[in-house]
Each structure stands twice: as structure tokens, then as C-alpha cells.
Structure 1
Amino acid sequence: MLHQGISIMLAPVLLLQGLNVRRTTPKLAEPEGERLGQTGTNPELSVLILGDSAAAGVGVANQDQALLGQVVHYLRPHGHLKYGLFAKTGATTSTTLESLNDHINCSHPILGQGHFDIIITSLGVNDITSSLSCDKWLQQQAQLLTLITERYTPKLILVTAIPPLGSFPALPNPLRWSLGQRAKHFNHKLQQLLLMLDQQALDQQQIDQQQIDKQSKAQTRFTLINLPLENPQQDSSMVDFMRQVMATDGFHPGPQIYTAWAKLIAEQIQLRK
């Protein structure tokens, strides 16, 4: 692809810019707050969030403002729920897979649970800023989705798309452009993977329903979630808009993004009920 060729030619510049961004970007802490709990004595829905610093809520002060707290806020009116968050700054698809495999048959308070109705993932930024190829990343994503499907038998897995790195204020050009193009490419391939997995789930459900002697079971469905980031200000650039709604480091979500992200997730969950 054209952007790959240009990025190769710009490699020395991109490398220097990347090192400088890592050195100068402020390191924000993960927010305070509980990562495991429930809203009533008889939860009707269980939700797990897996992922990186964005999933962990970096960019806000506490979990109530972060993705987990906002998801709980929007789902609470529809019934009691149980929730868990397993996320870490710097996490990649590969390290998340390792953590899940390290906690097989264990008493981990979150990963050791046997079932979640809904699983939300947020992984890819740390993969994309490394030298990992898109094919390798897709392979890891497929492994992760297969593992959590088999282990937790969820009804729905909501996979968060890689955010628009091409609009991140913390990134200078041409690094911003290069990572933005790479993110678009990864997301396009991720969408294809999820469509394939979703079709396989539908096909399996039809097979189960046709077998009269076998009780039909609901198959896991897969949906890509694109962060609702649209610039409502005609007279300002997307980068300027992102500077207003992102955290102070120009790299993580701010409260507005977490709220919009959680609202979209809650809407998808209600649609699939």
C-alpha cells in the first residue's frame, strides 16, 4: 500500500519522532476506584472489560468517570449487573493473551470467573505503535477472541476499534499521519475478521436449531465499536477538536470520550438483547 511505502522512506524521521513522543509525553496514572463489583443482590447481566490504558481509564481521576463507571451508569437503569475490569497501561493483544493463559483454572477474582454475558475489548494502540505486522496482530486478535469465547461463553463481544491516531494532538507529523494510516488499515482488517467470526456464529446457530435432538444454544456475536468522535466545529480542525476532548497528555481519552464510548456500548448491548 502507498502509505506503507512512504512510511518506509520516512522511517528514520518516524523513529526519532516516536522516541521523542515517548520521552516528552506526560505519564498519567490509572484512575482510583473499584474494578470489580455488582449493582444489586441478583445481577441479571455480567460485563467484563479487557484491555489497555484506555480500558483502564487513564485520562480521568476515578473509575466513575472512566469507561467502566460510565458503562455501569448507562446499564444500571435496565437491571442489576455484575462487572469486572482487567486492564493495564501498556497492554498489547499478546500480553493480554499471556495474562489470560497465566490465569487458567485460578482463583483470580476477575479472570477466574466462569462466565460473562458481555465482553468489551480495547486493544491495539500499543500494538500499532510497535513494529508488529497487521497479519500477526490479526492472528493474535483471533486467538484472543477464540479464547474468551470458549472460556466465558459471552452472548456478545464488543471490540473497540483502534482510535484515530491521525488526529492525536500528542503526535507530530509525519508520525501522526503514518500511524493514522496504519490504524485505518488495521481497523479495516479487524472489521473483516469480526464479520467472518459473526457469520460463523450465525451459521453454527442455524445448525444447532436444525438438530431437533440437540438443545439450541446462543452463539457469541461480534461487533466492532468505532469511537464516536465527530468534530461539530466547522471552523476548527479535527486535531484541535481532539485537543479539547482528550486528556492533558493528548494521547488518552478525556471524560467526554469515555461518556460517549460507554453510551454507544450500552446502546449496542440493548440492541442485542
Structure 2
Amino acid sequence: MLYQGVSLILAPLLVFQGLNVRRTTPRLPEPEGERVGQTGANPALSLLILGDSAAAGVGVAFQQHALLGQVIEQLSPQLEFSYGLFAKTGSTTSTTLQALQEQIDIAHPILGQTHFDVIVTSLGVNDITSSISCEKWLLQQKALFELITKRYTPKLILVTALPPLGLFPALPHPLRWSLGQRANQFNRQLQQLLIKLNQQVDQPTDFRLIKLPLENPQPDITMLEFMRQVMASDGFHPGAPIYSAWANLVVEQIVGGIKSAAIA
């Protein structure tokens, strides 16, 4: 790919910029709030959100405004459900897989459960900013999907695509361009992996890739400026508007995909 050759030429500059971003970008805390619970006395569906700082809600102060809280707000009027959030700042696909492969106490309020109807994953940003190859990352993603499918027998796994790093305000050019191209490559290969998984005859789980609909409604400003408005103050994590839009996608998939089957 052209971008790989250009990135190789620019490698010293990209490494310098990457180190500088890590040094200067503010480290935002994970939001306060409950990570496990249920919305009614008779949950008809169980949900697990699994992943990194974005899944954890970094960028807002309270879980109410993060992905989990927004899913609760948007889905609870339609359906009673139980939920769990297992996410941590800095998590990669590898570290998440390792955590799930370790001996899990059956008393763990989230991972100790035996079944989730829906699992939402958000992993890849911390992978893509490292030196991992797309091929190795895909193998890790596949191993993660196989593990959570076997352990929790979900009906639906919603895989969150890598965000558009090419539009992250915290990243300087050309690092922003390089990571944006890398994210596009990872997303294309991830989509192909999910297609193959869905084609397996004995596969009871439906895999779907969800991409945030980040469209600039203000033609008088640039897309980069729009992203500054909807992202967190660090220019790297989602802000409340993005979490709301992300949750809307999750709820749409749940309601359209398995709500009727879960209630039946």
C-alpha cells in the first residue's frame, strides 16, 4: 500500500510525533458510575460491553453520558435488560484476551456470568498506535471472538470499527494521516473476518460491524473542527455527542436484530 511506503519514509518523524502526543495529551479519568446492574425486575436480555477506554467512557465525567449510560437511557424504555461493563483504559485486544483467558472467579459480577445475549466490543485504538501488524491483530480478534462466543453463547456480537484516527484533533499531521490510513486498513480486514465468521455453518452468533456516523452538519466549518466540537477535551476520546450516537447504533441493532427473539 502507498501509505505504508510513505509511512516508512516518514518513520522518524512519526515516532517523534507519537512520543510527543503521549507526553502532552491530558490523561482523562474513567467516568464515575455503576458498571453492572439491570433496568427492571424481569430482564429479557443481557448485555456486555467489553473493551478499552472508549468502552469505559473516558471523555465524560459520568457513566450516564458514556456508552453504557446512553444505551441504558435509549433502550430501557423499550426493553428491560441486565448489563455489565468490563473495560479499562489502555486495553488492547491482547490484554483483554489475556484477562478473559485467566481463571475467572464465578463470583465475578460480570465475567463470572454464563451468558450474554449481546456483546459490544471496542478494541483496536491502542493496538493501532503500537507496532502490531494487521495480520497479528486479526488473529487476536478472531481468538477473542471465539472465546467469548464459546463462554457466553451470545446471539449477537457488535464489533465497533476503529474510529477515524485521521480526524483526531490530538494528532498532528502527518501522524494523523498515517494512523487514519492504518485504521482504514484494519477496518477493511476486520469486516472480511466478520463475513467469514458469519459464513460458518455451525455459527450461532451473528457478528456485525458498527461504524459511527460522524457527519459534519455544519458546512461552514471543516470536519476537523467539527471533531473538536464532538470529541473530549483531549482530542482523542469521544465526547458526549459521540457516545450518544454510538449508543443509538447499538440500540438499533439490538431492537432490530434480537429483541423479538429475546422476548419470545
The aligned residue for residue 259 of structure 1 is 244
CA offset digits 1:214-250 (Å, max 9, x no partner): xxxxx11000010121111222221111000000000
| 1:103–1:111 CA contact under 8 A, matched in 2 | no
Shift of 1:105: 5.4
- Alignment of 1:239 with 2:237, yes or no, is no
Alpha-carbon distance in structure 2 between the residues aligned to 1:28 and 1:64: 17
In structure 1, what is the equivalent of residue 261 of structure 2? none
Distance across 2 between alignment mates of 1:40 and 1:56:
23
The one of 223, 227, 230 equivalent to 2:212 is 227
Please, what TM-score do these two structures have when normalized by structure 1? 0.93
Structural mapping, 1:203-214, within 5 Å: 203-204=201-202
- Secondary structure of 2:235 counterpart: coil
How far apart, in 1, do the equivalents of 2:54 and 2:223 lie?
20
- Which residue is 1:185 aligned to? 185
Aligned-partner SS, 1:78: coil
1-structure distance, mates of 2:166, 2:4:
15
What letter matches 1:259 in structure 2? S
Write out per-residue CA displacement over residues 164-196 of structure 1, whole angstroms, 9 at most, x where no aligned residue: 000000000000000000000000000000011
Deviation at 1:272, TM superposition (A): 0.7
> What corresponds to 2:89 in structure 1?
89
For the pair shown, the structure with the greater C-alpha radius of gyration is: 1
Structure 1 residue ranges without an equivalent (≥5) = 206-218
Report 1:24-63 matches (<5 A).
Answer: 24-63=24-63
Residue 233 of structure 2 corresponds to 248
* Contact 1:103–1:112, Cα closer than 8 Å, also in 2: no
For the residues of structure 1 that align with 2:125 and 2:28, how far apart are their CA atoms? 16
- Secondary structure of the 1:89 match is coil
What code does the residue aligned with 1:264 have?
A: L
Letter in 1 for 2:123: L
What's the Cα RMSD here? Answer: 0.9
Structure 1 segments of 4+ aligned residues over 6 angstroms from their partners: none
Could you report, residue by residue, the CA deviation over 1:52-110 in whole angstroms, capped at 9, with x for unpaired residues?
Answer: 00000000010010000111111101221100000000000000001101144542110
1:113-192 paired onto structure 2 within 5 Å: 113-192=113-192
Between 94-103 and 151-160, the greater mean CA deviation after superposition: 94-103
Provide the C-alpha distance between the structure 1 equivalents of 2:105 and 2:84, rounded to a whole number of angstroms: 17
Distance 2:103 2:214 in 1: 35
Amino acid at match of 1:137: W
